[in-house]
């Protein structure tokens, strides 16, 4: 991912599922002088609670094109070597009754992603990040629903 902005910085984050069969890399280009521009939400709607098996779920919002999927046998060090999508990995999505795609690993069942048609970003499960503390450092996490219900505080 290249940027013409001389002040642009690259933020690279890694993550995956519990069994490590599914891996991903997220690369975000930011032109704010290195400031963390990642946004995150907490959601406690019924579907997010069930999907995450917790009282609330924390997600990091990223552009879909910033995610590179791989298997544990592939290396995430070079984007050129990776498939452009999740083809060939253990990633699968289930579409719920309102059209929200919830992505998980078919091997271990770990929740990794929420995607809605027409949205400019996808939600990565913060717990699937290798270093969630580094990603979420300085990020204000707001109690916003995932889109499953009307936009009111959870």
How many Å apart are CA 11 and CA 16, to the nearest integer?
A: 17
Domain assignment present for residue 36? The answer is yes
Kindly report the pTM of this predicted structure: 0.76
Domain assignment present for residue 148? The answer is no
Number of H helices, E strands in the chain: 2, 10
Domain assignment present for residue 154? The answer is no
- Helix/strand/coil percent split, the chain, to 5: 15, 40, 50
Closest residue by Cα to residue 85 from 110, 59, 66: 66
For the stretch 25-34, pLDDT in tens is: 998 876 555 5
- What range defines the domain where residue 129 resides? 9-143
Residue 92, number of CB atoms within 10 A of its CB: 15
How many Å apart are CA 131 and CA 3, to the nearest integer?
A: 25
Domain assignment present for residue 149? The answer is no
Q: What is the CATH number of the domain that holds 71?
A: 2.170.150.70
Q: Extract the tokens encoding 96.
A: 């719920």
Domain assignment present for residue 136? The answer is yes
For the stretch 43-101, pLDDT in tens is: 888 888 888 888 888 898 888 888 888 877 775 655 444 443 455 678 889 988 778 89
Domain assignment present for residue 58? The answer is yes
DSSP lists the bridge partners of residue 124 as 60, 113
Domain assignment present for residue 123? The answer is yes
Domain assignment present for residue 151? The answer is no
CB contact at 8 A, 13 and 25: yes
DSSP lists the bridge partners of residue 42 as 58, 143
For the stretch 128-145, pLDDT in tens is: 999 988 777 767 676 666
Count of domains in the chain? 1
């Amino acid at each position: 991912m290249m940027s013409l902005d001389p002040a642009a910085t690259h933020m690279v984050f890694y993550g995956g599922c519990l069994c490590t069969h599914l891996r991903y890399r997220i690369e975000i280009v930011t032109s704010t002088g290195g400031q963390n521009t990642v946004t995150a939400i907490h959601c406690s709607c019924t579907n997010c609670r069930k999907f995450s098996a917790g009282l609330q779920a924390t997600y990091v919002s990223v552009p879909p094109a910033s995610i590179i999927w791989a298997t544990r046998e592939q290396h995430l060090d070079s984007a050129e070597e990776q498939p452009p999508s999740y083809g060939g990995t253990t990633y699968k999505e289930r579409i719920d009754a309102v059209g929200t795609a919830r992505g998980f690993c078919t091997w271990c069942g770990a929740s990794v992603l929420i995607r809605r048609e027409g949205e400019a970003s996808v939600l990565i499960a913060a717990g699937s990040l290798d270093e969630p503390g580094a990603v979420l450092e300085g990020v204000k996490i707001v109690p916003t629903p995932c889109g499953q219900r009307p936009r009111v505080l959870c």
